Each structure stands twice: as structure tokens, then as C-alpha cells.
Amino acid sequence: MGSAPGSGYADQVVRPSPAEDRELHGQVALLLSTRDQRYTAQRRQIVRALAKLGRPATIGELVEAANGVPLSTAYRNLSILGEANVVRRVGGADGFTRFELAEQLSGQHHHHHVVCESCGLVIDAAASPALEAALAETARAIAKANGFDVTEHRLELVGRCTSCRDAAAS
């Protein structure tokens, strides 16, 4: 499930195996076909880049990892892949939109994000059952108090990544 022993509730980046990779592209092709969209070479490049990076990535990181797919093509396809529930937008800490594979495609299920306030790095972190229970309870309280119908949540844990901490200790 992408969790190394003793790693608690925070995941490291885990590369998909070749078999998982085939499975991924099969699922993407299916999701696209139900919306009469083709799984083109450029889209495959983008999906491959997202899987390879294993964390929410900026457009710049993506076009570089996706072998120089043009910006306009990358943006357009990320939008289409988003509508097909292949890609999810992640609001960054800096002003940059980031993109990641949808939870059911990335191997890990529901998760949250850890953000470095210094360099903007974003990594995934699985949520603990206790945290999810507390969130569900909060959602209930809000529905009661404000009539707001809470259907999901976004959690970002903000701090300093290892390399930024090392760099600060100069």
C-alpha cells in the first residue's frame, strides 16, 4: 500500500512497479474513453511524469519530466485529465498550482499534504484514523451550526523540509 514498515502515517515517495504501471495506464485509458477522449502520447507522457514524481508537481516540473511537452498542451491536457478524474489540482503554498494523480490511481488512498514553507515542496502524507474521525466529527458540528454540507476536506501540514533546514543551518 506504499507504506514502509515503521513509517507511521507519513509516506515516502514510492515508485510504481512495471505491473502497477501497466495497470495505471489501463485505468487512465478507460477513464478517458468513457468521456470520448483518446489516450495520446502527450497525455501518456504527462501521466507517466506524475507517477514518476510521486508528489504534487508544478507545470514546470511536469513539462521537464514529460520530455518537453509544450506548456499549452500540458495545461490543456491536465485540464482534460482533471475532468476525467485522472488528475487532481493541489493548491500550492506558493502561488503555483500543482497536479497529482487521483487518489485511486496513485496507489495510496485518501491522504493529506505536507508543505515546505521555504521551498514550496509538497509531499503526500496518509491520514490516521483518529484524525479522520476527528475531522468527521468537526464536519458534523459545522453542518449543525451553519447548515454547511461538508463533503470533503483539505489539510496541509506546513513546515520546513530536511534540505531547507540543513541549508538554514549554515
Q: Which residues bind DNA (CB under 7 A)?
A: 36-38, 40-43, 58-59, 69-73, 75-77, 79, 95-97
In the complex, the smallest distance separating the C-beta of residue 73 from Zn ion, rounded to whole angstroms, is: 23
Please tell me the distance from the alpha carbon of residue 79 to that of residue 73, in angstroms, as a whole number: 10
Which of 59, 80, 102, 119 contacts Zn ion by CB under 5 A? 119
DSSP result, 47-80: HHHHHHH-S-EEHHHHHHHTTT--HHHHHHHHHH
> Cell 511524469 identifies what position?
49
User: Helix, strand or coil for residue 21?
Assistant: helix
Q: Which is nearer to a second copy, 15 or 22 (CB)?
A: 15
Q: How does DSSP classify residue 17? A: P
Q: Which is nearer to DNA, 51 or 66 (CB)?
A: 66
Query: Using N-to-C axis directions, what is the helix angle for 41-53 and 71-83, rounded to 10°?
Result: 80
Instruction: Give the residues lining the site for a second copy (CB under 8 A).
Output: 7-12, 91, 112, 114, 116-117, 123, 125, 127-128, 130-131, 133-135, 137-139, 141-142, 144-162, 165
Q: What residue ranges bind Zn ion (CB under 5 A)?
A: 100, 116, 118-119, 121, 124, 161, 164
